Every structure is written in structure tokens, then in C-alpha cells.
Structure 1
């Protein structure tokens, strides 16, 4: 359902419209006399309810126990039930979509669609060089996840990465992700570049082009060039299943999304996935998007109060024009993470909340302009000159600033673990990175930069001192 800043109830509109539930012998070939206006907010506007053409749908349920509702539908090709998330994928007609949306136990029916990738200086600008060379932290105790176009598993800087490639037919094959080892699972180079920024070890450049946390263990989910909500949510599902089976992930970096000015939708499949990751103390970090400089252009998935949204700057710490912005301060938009997070938790527990569940600002910013990182020599995004090292390339975008901040998060987690013997929670990591950010430019606003420019040494100092930040420690930049 699409939330708003004045509070909402997931089923209030549906009940007011007089729609019936599954227990009322709803005809599954259609909704006899259904009030489609009464389904507003429960069905993605991209889905055609009047059409008998099969459409790709992601059904988000109240819990996994409700997924067998789909067994009562005459689905053309069956359905895929996720292993951990309360989500299923199916090909659905318009009438079936209506029937599902009107069923008790269903939160939202969403159209599967493609998402956009958000295309040595970053280490120095953020203070990471000091953390690595003076403090001695490299992320060795941290397991980081990248969901992207893939990774060149044979790149000298990334040879230790765990490399999962999407291979599944979701309605025909039980296997969606296959380990491909040292193969190149990246068709375009975007994911290889992101992975190197986060955790490349710099082997090919004798350390010059190493990433933010070169000691971190890296797991990459390759969705290839055509990333979709289905693939992204399925990657989260597999990651969480592995976590339950003994893996220990700490953060997941997401340099993709869809920019829009609407309200945060807590019932989407990927929004649900990021919430479950946060609940498991895996911090999702999202790129802000490349739709700036206007306000109300922030990545839809970065509006969640449980993720860290990252803006892009140049090397002089000025916000780039392309970096997406949240809502202006005078719009009355919510900037209070603690309030939104509390409301969102209440919403997921009870189905209603009395206030905003979205956060309409960035979290922090970091360099994202012409970032030098790993690339396969034959990747389409290989933009180096003929006399440059073909194993690296310079690319700009919040896709590049996002893994910079993810690497800082890894260093903070590593510093805390090495000093105190345990890893901090996702919210402690998020608050600490925000609380230690600096207002490096007077032009910063909460919409453009949130709490300011990321400061790795200060964040690591707080981790070493066992003084991780709380909500009260976070100060936003001046509006």
C-alpha cells in the first residue's frame, strides 16, 4: 500500500469499498461485481486489471503461511514461493490480480519491472586511507554482499569473491542462483566496478586502486544487465536463507533503483526484503539515484527508514548535479528516521500506523564523480584510454558513491569487532555513520546530503571507543 505522512491503515480503503475475502468463496476467474476502486493501494498501478493477458506479478503476503492461497488459483504456470520472504512470483491475469488483492493475507500485488543501475581519490577524501594505513582496519571480519550486474571473478583484485549468477526460470527451475566461481558473470562491468570500490584488494595496481574495505569477504549476486524487482528480491531471499544456514552477512550494497516523487511503499517486494535484512542485522545501503538536481527525485527504495541512502559528491565534496535529492524542507516531508522506523515497525506488526513510514532525505554523501575502480578489459563500461590499465575504469554516479559508503560501514563494523569481540547492529552502524558525517559545504541540505559528507576516521574512533551513535546523536545539515 502507498503510505502517507498522516498515517494509514493497510485495509481501510479495501474494507470501505466492501470487497470480500478468500473465505467468501471469491470466484477466481474474476471478481464478480468487484469495486476496483476499493483495491486502490493494494495493486500496483502498472498492472492491468481489465486484461486477460498474463502479467508478471510479485505477491507480498502478511506471512509465508499465507502463500498457499495461490494453490486455489488456476495459475497458468504455477508460482515461485520465496524461501524466507513472504513473497511469491506468478503470471497472473487481471481478474486473478483483483481476486488476490481482495484476499485476506495479501498485502500487495506488484508488477515485476526492470530497475536502473546508478552509474585512490575516494579513499583520501573520506579518510579511509587513514583508517587502513594508521588504524589498521581493512574489513577483515566483515562479510559484504553486492547485488548488481555481476562480477569478473577472474579479475586480479576480486579473485576471492563468492560469485552467484541468476540462472533460474522462476516458474520452471528450482535453482535461481548458481555459484560460478572465477567466471565473469558481469555482462556490462557495473557490478565489477561496484565490487572493486567496496572490497577490491588492489592486486593489479600494487594497492593503488584498492577498495574501501579490501579485507572484507565479498558475495556478489549477478542479475546481469537486466536487473528487475524479481531478481533483486530473490537475491535478498537467497542471502537471508544462507544467513539462516550459518552465513554471517553484515551489509548489502545496492547501486540501483527507480526514482520517483511518490510516498514510500512499505508493502513492495523489495521493500519487504530490505526490512527482513535489516531485522537480521544486515544493513542495506542504497544509491540515491542519478535524477538530480531537482528535489523529489530520490530512489524509491532509498526512502526506507531502515536503509542508508547515499548521495554523490565530487572530490571537493560538492554535491554533483546528477545526485538525486529528497524533498525540500519546506514541503513538510519527514526527515526523522527514528519516528519513521518506529511507525514502520508498528505498521508491519499491526497493519496500521499513525504517522510517516518513509524518510524523504539522503543519509550521507561520498565521492561518486569519476571513481576509479575495477573493470574487465572487455566490459562495455570500460572507458579507459588506450594507454591506461585495462583492468580499471573511471565512472560517475551514485552507483559509485554507494559502495564507498558501504566500505566505510564495513570498516566501522570491523573496528568494533576487533576491539570488542562482536559486531554492531544494523541501526548502530547506520546511526554512527550519519552521526559522524560532516557539513563540508554550506550548500548541503538534508534533501541533498542528509547528515553530511561521510567521515571514516571519526566513525571508526567511535566504534573503537564503544560509543556507537544513537538517533539523538545525528544532526542533519542545515536546510
Structure 2
């Protein structure tokens, strides 16, 4: 029989099993998708109106006895075969590869793609040319010591097996990235820089985007090299985004009589086509383009593209940081278009530490509603770093394209943070008709190129500066808007006129990081640099508060209130974060230094976490001996302490923040394997160092009562559901009928949030009953796989021993 089970992402009930991989057309309002996991198992997903989801699992060949666990956390549905747990816990595999919500959204459902695009990270010293995995290998990505690859879904199980004992250190999804000037160029002060003799001449900016239109008058003579990293046939821009971005950086304005110049019209351009003719691409394409650009002489690289929010440890962000360190190149990256969703929406690779991450403002200097906000996911670090005009931007149109709104034969209008960084991010904005020849659109794609152009101007003035110095100078001299935090605007709107004229700049962004009770104060330095010929005395003022508005007071303090910066020199000032003097919370603020005609500032961030405690986890079987817990999940209100792991028979000690947690774990109780033991602790309070023992002996049998004798047949499942603060967490497990019994630890009623446990069974009349003559108890019996089925009554005689009294 086909082994399949139904798991429902809700708090009660289960839907009927979905059809096989090639599902019938869905009824109105119902979505059905088939997703093959990296292990070769197939998940059928059914989305019902109102958001409820159901997942049906078809195990891959030879995997019929694998147990499957399902989680729905904060709206994302994931399905995990139990045997992937060790590799997930060791961070050898990207969890996104089992996030079916994300895989469907990225276009990797089976009806959309027959392969899974991957980035394979190898151990240090491994020969990237010699690999034995069952996948089609692509480009080498030196910045992350890896290669791109395509794993055929039809051969996914072979890939999973071959990758287990290889030189591969990590498997990541090769995520998709997307392409996210009349008044805007004067708004950032570019004409004043031009008047001072700085228009980017002698510098090169690389544009990683959808290509460019080589016939556009504004780009004539501007592009010195172009390389195609996509599967599109050439470097020509058939989408329109790359041309728009390139002209915002260095366009001559020839088609407008010189009126619509880019921010740095004297700069030269390198064009790397990393997004295809539909405006999307893969991280591996982008990484290859980044490596080419950084090693081809570009002083700055414009990346008006991006993926979803990350903690800065994704391949794109890690590659950006590595290339910045190796080459001194500045990567200018769009923040993203998800500001309407609130905080924690900065997209990769704008999450990289070294990136100059750009948000968007309008002509009124107000933050655009679509501009993505910080802090960074995971560690609450400060992002973005700066903003630039990204609303109603008019720029060049590639021939034959219709991105944005056509102004005339040569220009279109578009908006977005990408146009502050040229990246391709979606439009997501408002279109306004100006006249028959000009229109303006708003989105997040238009802010980034202004900053890339400003970087080219500053690099012309200071050709020996590194990308880090360019980033600090632009961020610390930007125009700060009142009423906005550093998590919304970074330093503020780029002001290239001030950056060129002012001789003093400072560290642009400084994160004190995590501050924990019981640890020593954390001190870091802000550097002030004076490029002028006379010393400057600066007065320092620090303002920092938590997101809740609580002033940091002496919890974040300066080492001194004034500082003298010598001509042609630099000095440092210490900032200290003292956990003993701060309430728990995420803090942000700004250190401002002033003198006659001088204003520089540093964006600050710090995270005072809840007190951390050591929690030791262990498991016991029915005999009180150490046991394996093949699946252990623990969640609290702060997602940074989420635990998805396993116990291999010993104990594990982790550090968790104080608070209320929900734990659910499967424990191997021993015995014949016919029983599942589930330990559930829905309201676990961590207030100090503690030991948690997952004891299978405390679990009690779940009794299923039927009017007549019945036994389990086919798939059965159970689930737990928990609400903790704003979080909604559902966990499911699917069992096949060789497992006959479920035992669960009793739970007290929770005092916070909601909790629910349930199970779903398929009971039938016993197909086989065996009675033993002589009044003995009935035998427990079952058909072996492949056994012929008996019909009617049979008398079976077995050998007996005449010497046995019982015989």
C-alpha cells in the first residue's frame, strides 16, 4: 500500500489525504502544491481559504519507516523527516530546504521546478573540483568556499545520501534574488560636489543587475566591460531595471540635453548581469558577479537586488563581508521593500556587516513607507546605514522595456530603495502621471544608485580610501531626520556635498552587541578622522534609549565629552555598555560630534538580553537509563532562543534567556518499538540554571475508545499547539501503522497563552483474532508485510513437548 499521512496546520482536526504528486485542479479558493524535499520525500500541501494548511507526506523509496515532524511557526509550515535532525542541529543543512511555505513562494514546488538549486559549502582545504555528490555542479564560489549545484528531485535521495560523508560542510538553498533623476540628484548635493571638481572621474562603479542598454545615449561611452552570469543570452537589459540604475549612477543625460545626469556622471561602469530578463536570479549568480566585480577594479559595487531578511550569516552576506575584507571594495546594497511589514525587514545581502545598506526617502525627506526597517534579524544590529531619494525617480529606459512608467523614448520613472542602491526590488509603490512624457513611480528600487554615485565622487577625492572609509564618511556626514530612529534611517539621507567639503568624519555605525547580566561592561571605540590641515576640537553628545523609550542613562556612556582631532590625524573615543545599569531591551541612539561648521554622527545599537541560564537536557527510557531523543523542540517568546535539536543518549547544555518556554520531545523509551513516547512541557519557566529530564516513564497511554473492538490501520498522527505572546507554534508528528501506541506526559493547565494537544487515528475491526485453546489470554497478533490474508476460521496446531505438564 502507499504510505501517506495527513497533518493539519491548525489546532484541531485533520484534512483528508491530498492526492499524489500530480494533483487534480484545485477547487476555487483552494491551493494545492507538491514539494519534493532534499531527502526525496514528497510533501503535498493544501491551503484552504482563511490560511489553514494541510500537509500530506509520501516517503521516498526505502524511507517508509521514517517518522515525519511538521512545524508551523509564525506562519511558516515546515516538514522534517526525523533522520535529518542531526545535520540540522549541526547546521550542516539549511532549514529553509524543509520550509515548504518558503519553497513554494520561491517557485520550487514540483509543478514549477524539477530541480532544487543549492549552494554547497566545502570544508577548508577541500578540492572544489573533485566532488562525488549526485548533483549537477555549477560555478565555483571562492568567497564562500563553495559551488553552486542543481539536485534533481527525481534523484534527491541519492544526493542526500552521497552528501552525508563527503567534503561538504553545509548545504544551503540557492535563494532567488530580485530587482527590488531630475530632482533627486540635487537633493543629495551632487551639483555642489561637481562644482568642487568631483564628479566621479577616474573611478569605476560595478552595477550588478539586469544588464544595460548599450544603445542608450546616456550610457554611451560609460560602460567599460560587461559579463553575463545568468542563463539569458546576453548582457543587454531586456527588463529595464539595470539601465535605470546605471544611469542614476553615471548617466550623462545626453538624451535630455544634459538635464537628467546621474549622481557621478564622470564615473565609468562595469555591468554584471546577475538577474535574468524577468528581473530575478539566484544567489549563486549574484555571488559570482560580486567576485568578478570586486576583482575587476570597481571601487564600489551597486546591488539593487535582494532576498528576504536574514541574520547576516547567509551565503550572500558572508560572501560580501569576505570580499570587502579581501579587496577593500564597498558594496552598496538596497535595504528592501518590506517596510510596511515593520521591523526586522532588512533583506540579504543588506544584512552583511560590511554592506552600506540604503533605505529610501521622498523629496520631503520623510522615510518612504516601503523602505525596510531594522534592526537586523537575529542580533538586533543597526541596519540600514543610510538613506537616499527613492520616490518618484526619473531615469533611463532600456529600449523595448516597460519597467516603471514610460516618460519618453529614453526615460522611465521608478522608485524604491534599489534606486538608492540600484538593486531590483519590486515596485510596491505609487504611480503618478506627470504629463504626456514623464511619469513617476515609487517603490524601493531607486535609492541605492544615488549612494553608489556619491561613493564614486568621494573615491575620486580620496583615491586611497578603502570601502570602509568611504562607508564611514558617507554615513557619518549624512543628514539626520528628526523623529526617526537609526533602525529606520541609519545615519540619515546621504549628503555628498557635506562629505566632500567637510574635513572630519567618524565611524558610521557602531554596535555594542549583546549585553548580559553578570558579564563585564562592553567597550568599543569610535574613530574620528581629520583630513584637513588644521586641528578640530569636537564636542560630543550621546543620546540612546530602548525601543520602549527608556533612556539608557549611564548604561551606555562616553569615555569623554570633548576630543581634539589633529590635522591629518585621528583619535578614538570609548563608548561603554554596562549591563548592570540597563533594563532588558534593544537600544539605539546617536553619538553626535560638533565644531564650527562640522557635524558628524555615529549610529549606535546595543541589546540588553534577558538573563541567560544554563539548561541541561537529558532523556531516560522505561528502565531509567539514558535514552535518545530523536526530536527535541523548545520555543519561547524570543525567537533567538529557539531550540531545534536532538539528544544522542547523553546530555546537552544550552544557554537560554529567562522566560517561559514550550518544550516537546520524542523519547526512545526502549522495548519493541511499537510505542511512541512524547514528553510535552507547555509552560516551562527558566529562572536560573536548571536540569530538565525527559522521562519516558512519566508518559501515559492515549486511550482510543470505540464501541466495538478495533485496532489502528494506516497512518496516524498527533499534534501540539502553543501560543506564547505574539507567537503561534504548531508541531505535528506522523506515524505509520507499525507503531501501535502513543504515550504522552500529562500536562497541567497553562497560565499564559493557549495550549492544545490532539491525535488522529484510523481504527478498523481487527482483521485477525487469535485465541489459544485452554483458556489462555488472546495473543497480540498482526500480519507481517506481504503475508497472505486469512479468510474464515483456521485451526493451527503447533509442536508441543510431551514432557511439559502444561502440554
Task: Report the TM-score, using the length of structure 2 for normalisation.
Answer: 0.45
Q: 1:284 to 1:478 in 2, by over 3 A?
A: closer
Report the counterpart of residue 291 of structure 2 in structure 1. 237
Q: 1:476 to 1:46 in 2, by over 3 A?
A: closer
Q: Secondary structure at the match of 1:431?
A: helix
Q: 1:310 aligns with which of 343, 350, 358?
A: 358
Matching of residue 270 in structure 1 with residue 316 in structure 2: yes
Matching of residue 434 in structure 1 with residue 493 in structure 2: no
Please give the per-residue CA displacement for 1:98-121, whole angstroms capped at 9, x wherever unaligned.
557756754431222321221x21
Alignment of 1:388-467 (within 5 A): 388-399=407-418, 400-417=446-463, 423-439=464-480, 441-462=481-502, 465=532
Q: Secondary structure at the match of 1:256?
A: coil
Structure with the bigger RCO (C-alpha within 8 Å, sep 6+) is: 1
Q: 1:39 to 1:201 in 2, by over 3 A?
A: same
CA drift at 1:272: 3.1
Report the counterpart of residue 328 of structure 2 in structure 1. 281
CA drift at 1:57: 1.0
* C-alpha distance in 2 between matches for 1:30 and 1:305: 44
Q: 1:128 aligns with which of 181, 190, 197?
A: 190
Q: 1:59 to 1:321 in 2, by over 3 A?
A: same
CA drift at 1:191: 0.7
Report the counterpart of residue 238 of structure 2 in structure 1. 187
Report the counterpart of residue 87 of structure 1 in structure 2. 146
* C-alpha distance in 2 between matches for 1:190 and 1:204: 18
Report the counterpart of residue 437 of structure 2 in structure 1. none
Report the counterpart of residue 198 of structure 1 in structure 2. 249
Q: Secondary structure at the match of 1:413?
A: helix
Q: 1:269 to 1:156 in 2, by over 3 A?
A: same
Report the counterpart of residue 44 of structure 1 in structure 2. 94
**Structure showing the higher strand proportion among its residues:** 2
Q: Secondary structure at the match of 1:393?
A: strand
CA drift at 1:239: 2.7
Q: 2:384 aligns with which of 341, 362, 366?
A: 362
Q: Secondary structure at the match of 1:144?
A: strand
CA drift at 1:237: 2.9
CA drift at 1:315: 0.7
* C-alpha distance in 2 between matches for 1:373 and 1:195: 9
* C-alpha distance in 2 between matches for 1:436 and 1:274: 24
> Where do 5+ consecutive residues of structure 1 fail to align?
1-28, 170-175, 335-358, 418-422
CA drift at 1:300: 2.6
* C-alpha distance in 2 between matches for 1:470 and 1:300: 31
- Contact 2:311 2:379 (8 Å CA) reproduced: no
* C-alpha distance in 2 between matches for 1:64 and 1:381: 45
Q: Secondary structure at the match of 1:146?
A: strand
Q: 1:87 to 1:468 in 2, by over 3 A?
A: farther
Report the counterpart of residue 380 of structure 1 in structure 2. 402
- Contact 1:165 1:177 (8 Å CA) reproduced: no
* C-alpha distance in 2 between matches for 1:218 and 1:414: 14
Report the counterpart of residue 216 of structure 1 in structure 2. 267
- Contact 1:444 1:478 (8 Å CA) reproduced: no
Q: Secondary structure at the match of 1:432?
A: helix
* C-alpha distance in 2 between matches for 1:87 and 1:469: 40
- Contact 2:253 2:259 (8 Å CA) reproduced: yes
Report the counterpart of residue 254 of structure 1 in structure 2. 303
Alignment of 1:283-302 (within 5 A): 283-293=330-340, 294-302=342-350
Q: Secondary structure at the match of 1:252?
A: strand
Report the counterpart of residue 73 of structure 1 in structure 2. 133
Q: 1:141 to 1:94 in 2, by over 3 A?
A: same
Q: 1:374 to 1:444 in 2, by over 3 A?
A: same
Report the counterpart of residue 769 of structure 2 in structure 1. none
Task: Report the TM-score, using the length of structure 1 for normalisation.
Answer: 0.73
Q: 1:318 to 1:107 in 2, by over 3 A?
A: farther
Please give the per-residue CA displacement for 1:431-464, whole angstroms capped at 9, x wherever unaligned.
111111121x222211110111111122113466
Report the counterpart of residue 323 of structure 1 in structure 2. 371
CA drift at 1:84: 6.1
CA drift at 1:277: 2.4
CA drift at 1:59: 1.0
* C-alpha distance in 1 between matches for 2:569 and 2:264: 21
Which stretch of structure 1 is more off in the superposition, 461-470 or 219-228?
461-470
Q: Secondary structure at the match of 2:459?
A: helix
Q: Secondary structure at the match of 1:236?
A: helix
Please give the per-residue CA displacement for 1:192-245, whole angstroms capped at 9, x wherever unaligned.
1000111111111122111011111101112322322121112123334xx2xx
* C-alpha distance in 1 between matches for 2:204 and 2:191: 20
**Structure showing the higher helix proportion among its residues:** 1
Q: 1:228 aligns with which of 266, 282, 286?
A: 282
Which stretch of structure 1 is more off in the superposition, 464-473 or 77-86?
464-473
- Contact 2:122 2:170 (8 Å CA) reproduced: yes
Please give the per-residue CA displacement for 1:391-435, whole angstroms capped at 9, x wherever unaligned.
112111111101111111111111113xxxxx2011111111111
